[in-house]
Amino acid sequence: MSEQDALKPLAAGLSGLTESWGNQKYLLGLTRRWPKMVGPVLAQNSLPAYFLGAELWIYTTHAIWMQQLGFAKPELLTKINDFLAEYGGPQVSDLRWTLQPADFPALPERKPVPPPAPVDPAEEQRILSMSEAIADPEARAAFVRLWRKMAAMR
Global pTM exceeds 0.75: no
Cα dist from 28 to 84, 85, 88, 108, whole Å: 11, 15, 14, 27
Tell me the CATH number of domain 22-99, given options 3.30.300, 1.10.150, 3.50.70, 1.10.8: 3.30.300
Residue-wise pLDDT tens digits, 92-126: 999 999 998 877 666 677 777 777 778 888 998 99
| Confidence check: pLDDT of 40 > 80 | yes
Ranges for all domains in the chain classified under CATH 3.30.300: 22-99
pLDDT at residue number 143? 92
What are 52's strand-pairing partners? Answer: 55
